[in-house]
Chain A
């Protein structure tokens, strides 16, 4: 079946360059019938002009032509548009000429004589190739744009605290030592320290993210006892929760339910989720961490009774540097990296994460992780301490920056 292009988008356009009038005519007839837009040219020079003007989706070119050769047409078309797709027609179906053309960048070749179906098939394949190449280029451009925007944001995030500290010290040096001087100096030193700590934590988180990007974070796939990690993370977070009167509760999985993953990563993941749940809770609220087997996987859920996340923000929650803007969330320290780290860890471990949230009621983050085959002993979190480069790990939850939403 020839694929007649849909009517809403313009039909793919094809340029045929061949010095043989009969060949031009038959190509035009066959391709017209398939619904393509076809233009033919009798030599390399006019063909190249046509390609430049029409920007076709596919170029069909004869290798043996007087004047500008087919090979030269190939290299000049590709020079102008590296994602151009070129099919070569060769009268002498020798391997040598075809190989030469392919080396010059042609996508495929068609030996003469060929049947209408052979032409149609090769054209369809070429157009599919073109579509993929354009799509790849579009994605490439998008990535580049994102990367550049990202660099701007990162440098801004790093510069802001540094600039604030610099400003304090610089102004302190300028100010006269009046009666308020000593008190002011003490207060500003405290503020400087806080900003420096914030920046250190940001850099550590940032390094963690880059490490995950380089695929060197989750080094192990071992059966892990999530219950013990939950217990130790909750213990660690108690100091953070108590001043706010927040209760931390665990609902462990039945004995022997293990997930498959990297204990260090899972610990980082849990620390981020639990400290978020505390940070965005209300005073006197509750955080519940549950582990349970669901549909052959292990589900880890962290629920809070806090602010909740408005619907419109939920899709962006796991984006780097995203922070929810709402009354009550303002002024909470964080750069918006915590959940980005969580997302990457989950992805790397072959799991998935979702959030459900009701503004004013609280949020629940559910992480699904692959379950370990039953009957193997689990690894607890202790081996986390043996990882070679501890500087790569996010700071413990007490510090300001390790969590963010």
Chain B
């Protein structure tokens, strides 16, 4: 499954990226790293990832949600909309708590959500599930 699969890690913590990269590479994934949301968005065209691992809190703000929203809703990223996003954070609040306004939360609700530090078996299972959901989605007509 992992064969030719590229994962884009967007996270401002060098050490977290290093550890997760080693883990994913040991499982046969190709890994591309971005240290900020902006860098991550810029890399999309170049690396065409199959999955995005996206940190919520970067530079003390919930920038990750902005990136998630941009990919899912902004016109210029329409080609990347189908890419499953796994959001990662060490903050315990769910998106519903962070964004209490009704409606708002549906715009930014991540496809998948895991917390730091990653529980490795659970994380790998989530990655698998996310990739399967995407291939399923793409094989649907329309």
Contact = CB atoms under 8 A, between A and B. Distances in A.
Interface of A: 152-153, 155-156, 159-160, 162-168, 170-171, 174-176, 184, 188, 191, 195, 321, 323, 325
Interface stretch (B20-28, B41-49, B74-82, B132-140): B20-28
A71 B41 CA distance: 65
Contact of B118 (A160, A167, A175, A176): A167
Contacts of B102: none
B99 to A, nearest CB: 13
B40 to A, nearest CB: 16
Nearest to A192: B15
B57 interface: yes
B20 A171 contact: yes
A78 B33 CA distance: 58
Contacts of A321: 60
14 contacts: A156-B60, A160-B116, A164-B15, A164-B19, A164-B117, A165-B15, A167-B118, A170-B117, A170-B118, A170-B120, A171-B19, A171-B22, A176-B26, A321-B60
B91 interface: yes
Contact of B90 (A163, A171, A176): A163
Contacts of B5: none
Contacts of A184: 22
A188 B117 CA distance: 16
A155 B15 CA distance: 18
Interface residues of B, number: 19
A160 B118 CA distance: 12
B73 interface: no
B19 A167 contact: yes
B19 A195 contact: no
B15 A156 contact: no
Given A159-B90, A159-B116, A184-B22, A153 B60 contact: yes
Given A164-B15, A191-B15, A174 B93 contact: no
Leading 8 A-B pairs by shortest Cβ distance: A166-B117, A163-B116, A164-B15, A159-B90, A167-B19, A163-B117, A171-B19, A167-B117
B128 interface: no
B13 interface: yes
Contacts of B90: 156, 159-160, 163
Interface string B108-125: 000000001110100000
A157 to B, nearest CB: 8
A152 B60 CA distance: 10
A191 B18 contact: yes
Contacts of B93: 152
A175 B26 contact: yes
B117 A160 contact: no
Contacts of B22: 171, 175, 184
Contacts of A166: 117
Interface string B76-107: 00000000000000110100000000000000
Contacts of A176: 26
A235 to B, nearest CB: 33
B16 A167 contact: yes
A120 B59 CA distance: 55
A49 to B, nearest CB: 31
Contacts of A171: 19-20, 22-23, 120
B120 A156 contact: no
Contacts of A160: 13, 57, 90, 116
B122 to A, nearest CB: 12
Contacts of A188: 18-19
Contacts of A168: 15, 18-19
A323 B16 CA distance: 21
A163 B120 contact: no
Max chain A C-beta neighbours (<10 A), residue from B23, B26, B91, B117: B117
